[in-house]
Structure 1
Amino acid sequence: MGRIEESVEVDAPLGAVYREWTGYQPIPACMRGGAARGAAATEVMPPDRIAWSGGPDLPGHSGVVTFHRVTDSTTRVMLQLDTEPHGLWDHLVEGLGFTDRKVIDELAAFKAHVEGHRPHLAA
């Protein structure tokens, strides 16, 4: 089983970052904690934490995202994913670090998205 832990600091208040996370479509719903390909939220504690399990379609896949107030206008998003590769292709992708790179890229895109919508953000 592989574990990926990444974080990003977003220049926006915690509540706004949480709201954006739950509705941000480019991040796969199974990373956001929403239902997709069988993923289901197992714990939702707005605006601090969302945990999920992959369910029957993604066995061995689970994760948690937490939101931490750094300052009144900065939030740290911490994402932890546990994945269990199935088959040769999944093992190769995981072994070469592509999954970790994808998570880093998705978090960077989320940060850019939120910071690009700054006029619409409210605490």
Structure 2
Amino acid sequence: MTTIQESIDVRVPVSTAYNQWTQFESFPYFMDGVDRVVQVTDTMTHWETSIGGVHREFDAKITEQHPDERVAWQAVGGQKQGGVVTFHRIDEQTTRVNVQMEYDPDTLTEKVGAGLGVIDRKVKGDLAKFKEFIESRGRESGEWRGDVSRSPQQGE
């Protein structure tokens, strides 16, 4: 497994940053290679991606979610990836967004890209685009404030 950790400070209140992050269908606006995300249920999303010439479709389950604090996910059905995004209040108008993600590169191209830090730079670039997206709007495009507690069998 390859682990990526990146963070960025955004000039919006923590609730605004968190609320926008719960709008998964908006991810193609700021994530390169994400073609489409469909919110299937409160805790299930369907992803279509095109990264490095490889098109993939997979489902991801929200495994833990607490308003203004964190969103954790795990891909289901073959795709080996998961992670957590946490939100930290710096001051009234600034939030630090931290992403920690683990994935298992499948193809030779993905393995070489992981070794060269391509995915790390992609995540860093996506966070910069999220910053631009939310700061230029000044408000979230929607919100989901539900709470999803990690079940005991999902322990870390």
Shared fold (TM-score, shorter chain, > 0.5) = yes
Q: Which runs of 5+ in 2 are unaligned?
A: 38-42, 48-57, 141-156
1:46 Cα offset (Å): 1.1
Q: How does 1:20-99 map to 2 (within 5 A)?
A: 20-23=20-23, 24-26=26-28, 27=31, 28=34, 35=45, 36=47, 37-59=58-80, 61-99=81-119
CA contact 1:39–1:57 (8 Å) conserved in 2: no
TM-score by length of 2: 0.69
Task: Classify the secondary structure of the residue corresponding to 2:77.
Answer: helix
1:96 Cα offset (Å): 1.5
Structure 1 Cα separation of the partners of residues 18 and 12 of structure 2: 10
Identical aligned residues as a percent: 37
Sort the Cα spacing of 1:5 and 1:34 in 2 relative to 1 into closer, same or farther, 3 A.
Answer: farther
Task: Classify the secondary structure of the residue corresponding to 1:107.
Answer: helix
RMSD of Structure 2 on Structure 1 (CA): 1.7
The one-letter code matched in structure 2 to 1:40 is: K
Greater mean deviation of Cα atoms: 86-95 or 99-108: 86-95
Structure 1 Cα separation of the partners of residues 44 and 95 of structure 2: 21
Higher relative strand content: 2
1:99 Cα offset (Å): 0.5
Structure 1 Cα separation of the partners of residues 94 and 16 of structure 2: 10
1:95 Cα offset (Å): 1.0
Paired residues in the alignment total: 116
Q: Which runs of 5+ in 1 are unaligned?
A: none
